[in-house]
A and B are shown apart, each in its own frame.
Chain A
């Protein structure tokens, strides 16, 4: 596999161009999820909105505990007690997942919306062969497909993630971490879903393997034209392989922008701090962290959740929660700083 810069660049250009005509495959509206713990209710997602078009790749970043995995699980309708999806809709294609029966939701998983887990290391059943773990996923979703055909399709999926057909007969412990992660990708694309969510697929891997896995995801995604949500907190990874970035802070999406905008002109103060904290080749030995610590979801500060750490804090930030603003160019920010600008734009 050869991915030259040029090829990548042209491809990026074409996707960019094609995007506007593409259909919307994912619409998340006002998603609210809470965990009910001993210490009280933790609102892990607070009215989250997101739309994705086919073939679009979005990175979801944010501090640990900000609700990234929760959002992924909520979209899969896999939130378990003590968590609860309290409001909102998730529409994939034209299916409203929240209104599906449990049985239909089973069908929708993997075939409409697939999830590539964070800990691929432990996500494969240690006692059955890899092949059967692909086949049983197919079996659960398709009828009248012969055994041979399923096997063929499974092997094809393995090959598409650059695994040898022999892997079909192997066990998880015989594979390296990167290979396991790619098996999970193979499972994820088996039924060509419209949306693929990958939850930190590479954070446990070293850089070389990480790159290999990301290249695989990108290539496959282009082949089947699915939308991808990549969860992580590595901004480098986002810069290198995503189209858009969504920044999450304390259960809210505080900014959604294209990668370029994010890196050149971040809007939300938290995004700005995030970008500032990134190490740059030019400025060796200069570190700039984000002061303070992530707030507990159990007891968010009044007003804007970020205000205790914000450089540009204003008085009403401490009392009033900012609303989601759509800026020119479709960027979305949740910050009082842009309320005026936005009003102007609307006017």
Chain B
């Protein structure tokens, strides 16, 4: 063998944290999105540890008070303290979002994988079902489902479940498309040659590479779920007593809060929702960049 490998000068790479920092600097939308999300999380967690949950429900405090030291976000017509209401609302919104988002993403990912990897009749069935369901406006079906459930048993989790019911087609199609291209990649062939079975190929070879896509799908799902929960509140389908952001907002609206000069009442949940959704949108934008190999300039 004539070739002699000489010890190549190894290039010193900056540490992971430094790289992450640089990456975030280059990806401002992800950074801002994550920062907002982090802020909201801190607000919620700190809040949950310090508030008295009872104050988030009617008759707890003096009604119709503008923001003050005592009531940082004011109080509403019903005598809720809007600060704990916001904390609990954020928490519940997070539960719905995460639950529906996670479920939708998991089911979508599993179906997408099954469909694309094994192909054949399974693929035909799954993708046809998705394609048939896609044009049906999900929200309207949510309404129909929510309308059919006995309202007294509606909880935050049932609401999340309703949202999830039609949230899996999007990720299924996205993941399916990705797996389809991914399984044509040569490393999959090599893994087969290395004796890996389908299970191993799916989980060890393909799945890790799809993480950015799955993350993007997840963020998107959470976005949809938060949105859907807001609209379900707006049309009056949901656990009304709970200070869900959508409920607070809509009850402010139905008590004509702006007109009555209680501006602080709707503003809180509006800002919170806007922040949640905007941060999700920004994170989505950022992850998009991550998932897109062309712009993934460095490791």
Interface 1/0s, chain A 278-312, versus B by CB < 8 A? 00000000011111110110110100000011000
Residue of B nearest to A288 (CB): B2
Pair A287/B2 contact, Cβ less than 8 Å? yes
Pair A38/B22 contact, Cβ less than 8 Å? yes
A299 in complex: contacting residue of B3, B9, B19, CB < 8 Å? B9
- Total contacting residues, chain B, CB less than 8 A: 15
Pair B19/A292 contact, Cβ less than 8 Å? no
Pair B8/A289 contact, Cβ less than 8 Å? no
Q: Does B11 contact A (CB under 8 A)?
A: yes
Pair A289/B2 contact, Cβ less than 8 Å? yes
B1-37 residues with Cβ-Cβ distance < 8 A to A are: 2-6, 8-9, 11-14, 19, 22
From known contacts A39-B11, A39-B13, A39-B14, infer whether A291 and B19 are also in contact, taking CB-CB under 8 Å.
Answer: no
Q: Does B181 contact A (CB under 8 A)?
A: no
Pair A295/B8 contact, Cβ less than 8 Å? yes
Q: Report how far A82 CA is from B259 CA in the complex, Å.
A: 54
Q: Which secondary structure characterizes the binding site on chain B?
A: loop
Number of A-B contacts (CB under 8 A): 41
Q: How far is the CB of B202 from chain A (nearest CB, A)?
A: 30
Q: Does A11 contact B (CB under 8 A)?
A: no
Pair A40/B11 contact, Cβ less than 8 Å? yes
A301 in complex: contacting residue of B5, B9, B298, CB < 8 Å? B9
Residue of B nearest to A289 (CB): B3
Pair A296/B2 contact, Cβ less than 8 Å? no
Q: How far is the CB of B6 from chain A (nearest CB, A)?
A: 4
Residues of chain B with a CB closer than 8 A to A308's CB: 6
- Total contacting residues, chain A, CB less than 8 A: 19
Q: How far is the CB of B298 from chain A (nearest CB, A)?
A: 5
Residues of chain A with a CB closer than 8 A to B11's CB: 39-40, 296, 298-299
Q: Report how far A301 CA is from B2 CA in the complex, Å.
A: 22
Residues of chain A with a CB closer than 8 A to B2's CB: 287-289, 291
Residue of A nearest to B22 (CB): A38
Q: How far is the CB of B251 from chain A (nearest CB, A)?
A: 51
Q: Does A203 contact B (CB under 8 A)?
A: no
From known contacts A37-B298, A296-B9, A301-B9, infer whether A291 and B3 are also in contact, taking CB-CB under 8 Å.
Answer: yes
Residue of A nearest to B23 (CB): A38
Residue of A nearest to B298 (CB): A38
Q: How far is the CB of A65 from chain B (nearest CB, A)?
A: 13
Q: Report how far A292 CA is from B5 CA in the complex, Å.
A: 5
Q: Report how far A303 CA is from B297 CA in the complex, Å.
A: 31
Q: Report how far A287 CA is from B3 CA in the complex, Å.
A: 10
A223-268 residues with Cβ-Cβ distance < 8 A to B are: none
Residues of chain A with a CB closer than 8 A to B297's CB: 82
A27-78 residues with Cβ-Cβ distance < 8 A to B are: 37-40
A137-182 residues with Cβ-Cβ distance < 8 A to B are: none
Residues of chain B with a CB closer than 8 A to A296's CB: 8-9, 11
Residue of B nearest to A308 (CB): B6
From known contacts A38-B14, A38-B298, A39-B13, infer whether A291 and B6 are also in contact, taking CB-CB under 8 Å.
Answer: yes
B5 in complex: contacting residue of A82, A293, A298, A299, CB < 8 Å? A293
Q: Report how far A289 CA is from B4 CA in the complex, Å.
A: 10
Q: Report how far A290 CA is from B11 CA in the complex, Å.
A: 22
B6 in complex: contacting residue of A37, A82, A298, A309, CB < 8 Å? A309
Residues of chain A with a CB closer than 8 A to B3's CB: 289-292
Residue of A nearest to B299 (CB): A38
Q: Report how far A123 CA is from B117 CA in the complex, Å.
A: 32
Q: Report how far A39 CA is from B14 CA in the complex, Å.
A: 7
Residues of chain B with a CB closer than 8 A to A291's CB: 2-6
Interface 1/0s, chain A 174-201, versus B by CB < 8 A? 0000000000000000000000000000
Residue of B nearest to A38 (CB): B298
Q: Report how far A301 CA is from B12 CA in the complex, Å.
A: 14
Q: Report how far A204 CA is from B14 CA in the complex, Å.
A: 36
Residues of chain B with a CB closer than 8 A to A290's CB: 3
Q: How far is the CB of B258 from chain A (nearest CB, A)?
A: 48
Residues of chain B with a CB closer than 8 A to A292's CB: 3-6, 8
Q: Report how far A288 CA is from B2 CA in the complex, Å.
A: 7
Q: Report how far A293 CA is from B3 CA in the complex, Å.
A: 9
Residue of B nearest to A292 (CB): B6
Q: Report how far A308 CA is from B12 CA in the complex, Å.
A: 19
Q: Report how far A287 CA is from B2 CA in the complex, Å.
A: 9
Q: Which of A38, A40, A289, A292 has the most CB of B within 10 A?
A: A38
From known contacts A38-B19, A38-B298, A288-B2, infer whether A293 and B8 are also in contact, taking CB-CB under 8 Å.
Answer: yes
Residues of chain A with a CB closer than 8 A to B14's CB: 38-39
Residues of chain B with a CB closer than 8 A to A298's CB: 11
Q: Report how far A309 CA is from B3 CA in the complex, Å.
A: 10
Residues of chain B with a CB closer than 8 A to A38's CB: 13-14, 19, 22, 298
Residues of chain A with a CB closer than 8 A to B13's CB: 38-39
Residues of chain B with a CB closer than 8 A to A289's CB: 2-3
Q: List 9 A-B contacts (CB under 8 A).
A: A38-B14, A38-B22, A38-B298, A40-B11, A82-B297, A288-B2, A293-B6, A296-B8, A296-B11
Starting from the known contacts A38-B14, A292-B5, A296-B11, 14 additional A-B residue pairs (CB-CB under 8 Å) come to A39-B12, A39-B13, A289-B2, A291-B2, A291-B3, A291-B4, A292-B8, A293-B8, A296-B8, A298-B11, A299-B9, A299-B11, A308-B6, A309-B6
Q: Which 9 A-B pairs have the closest CB atoms?
A: A292-B6, A291-B4, A38-B298, A308-B6, A299-B9, A298-B11, A291-B3, A289-B3, A299-B11
